Structure 1
Amino acid sequence: MFSYRHAFHAGNHADVLKHIALLATLRHLQHKDGGLLLVDTHAGAGLYRLDHEQARTSGEAARGVGTLWQAAARAQAARAALPAAVQDYIDRLLELNPGGVLRHYPGSPALLQALLRPQDRLTLFELHPTDARLLDRTVRGWLARTPRPAIDLRRVDGFDGLRALLPPPSRRALVLIDPSYELKADYSRVAAVLADALRRLAVGCYVVWYPVIGRSQAHSLPKRLRALAQRAQRPWLQAELNVGARPDPAAKAAAARGRPATELRASGVFVVNPPHTLVTQLREALPWVLAALRQGVGAQWSVQTAAD
Structure 2
Amino acid sequence: MFSYRHAFHAGNHADVLKHITLLATLRHLMQKEAGITLIDTHAGAGLYRLDGDYSQKGGEAEDGLFKLLAAAEKLDALPDPVQDYLEQIASFNPNGQAKIYPGSPFLMHKLMRHASRDRLRLFELHPTDSKSLTANIAQLEAGRTVTVSREDGFEALKKILPPPPSATGSKRAMVLIDPSYEIKSDYSKVASVIQEYLKRFSTGTYLVWYPIIPRPEAHDLPKRLRTLSNQSQKPWLNATLAIGRGEGDEGGLVASGMFVINPPFTLKDQIRQALDMVGPALARGSGKNWAVESS
TM-score interval (norm. to shorter):
over 0.9
In structure 2, the partner of 1:114 is 110
* Cα RMSD, aligned residues only: 0.8
**Residue type at the aligned position of 1:160:** E
Q: Which residue of 2 aligns with 1:305?
A: 294
From 136, 139, 142, the counterpart of 2:137? 139
SS in 2 for 1:134: helix
In structure 2, list runs of 5 or more residues that go unmatched.
none
Residue 264 (str. 1) matches residue 230 (str. 2): no
For residues 52 and 283 of structure 2, the distance between their equivalents in structure 1, rounded to whole angstroms, comes to 25
In the TM superposition, what whole-angstrom CA distance separates every residue of 1:109-147 from its partner, at most 9, and x where no partner exists? 01001111121000000000000000000010011xxx4
Task: Tell me the CA shift for residue 171 of structure 1.
Answer: 1.8
- Counterpart-to-counterpart distance in 1, 2:74 and 2:16: 18
Cross-structure match for 1:255: none
Residue 157 (structure 1) aligned with residue 152 (structure 2): yes
Letter in 1 for 2:259: F
Q: What amino acid is aligned across from residue 289 of structure 2 in structure 1?
A: Q
* Counterpart Cα distance in 2 of 1:290 and 1:272: 23
**Distance in 2 (alpha carbons) for counterparts of 1:28 and 1:283:** 16
Tell me how far apart the structure 1 counterparts of residues 55 and 22 of structure 2 sit (CA, whole Å).
22
C-alpha distance after superposition, 1:218-275 (max 9, x if no partner): 0000000001101111000000000011111xx4xxxxxxxxx431010000000000
Structure 1 gaps, min length 5: 252-260
Please list the CA deviations of residues 259-307 of structure 1 after superposition, one character each: whole Å capped at 9, or x if unmatched: xx4310100000000000000001100010011111101111000000x
**2:190 maps to which residue?**
190
Q: Where does residue 229 of structure 1 map in the other structure? A: 229
Could you list the structure 1 runs, at least 4 aligned residues long, displaced by more than 3 angstroms after superposition: none
Query: Aligned partners of 1:201, 1:297: CA distance in 2, in Å?
Result: 41
Q: Calculate the TM-score normalised by the size of structure 2.
A: 0.96
Counterpart of 1:239 in structure 2 is 239
Structure 2 letter corresponding to 1:159: F
Cα shift readout 1:31-60 (whole Å, capped 9, x = no counterpart)? 000110100000000000000011111010
1:38 aligns with 2:38: yes
TM-score by length of 1: 0.92
Report the counterpart of residue 19 of structure 1 in structure 2.
19
Compute the displacement of 1:199 (Å).
1.2
Tell me what 1:127 maps to.
125
Q: Distance in 1 between matches of 2:160 and 2:197?
A: 10
Structure-2 separation of matches of 1:97 and 1:216: 40
The whole-number CA distance in structure 2 between the counterparts of 1:11 and 1:223 is 27
Q: Residue 163 of structure 1 contacts residue 196 of structure 1 at CA under 8 Å; is this kept in 2?
A: no
Q: Secondary structure at the match of 1:142?
A: coil
How far, CA to CA, are the matches of 1:207 and 1:166 in structure 2? 15
The answer as to whether partners of 1:212 and 1:218 remain within 8 angstroms in 2 is: yes
Look up the match of 1:275.
264
What is the correspondence of 1:41-80 to structure 2 with a 5 Å cutoff?
41-75=41-75, 80=76
Is the Cα–Cα contact under 8 Å of residues 171 and 201 in structure 1 kept in the other structure?
Answer: no
Return the offset for 1:97: 1.0
Secondary structure at the aligned position of 1:207 is classed as: strand
Cross-structure match for 1:214: 214
TM-superposed CA distance for 1:74, in Å, is 2.7
**Match of residue 101 from structure 1:** 97
Q: Percent identity?
A: 54
Q: Distance in 1 between matches of 2:24 and 2:241?
A: 16
CA distance in 2, matches of 1:152, 1:37: 11
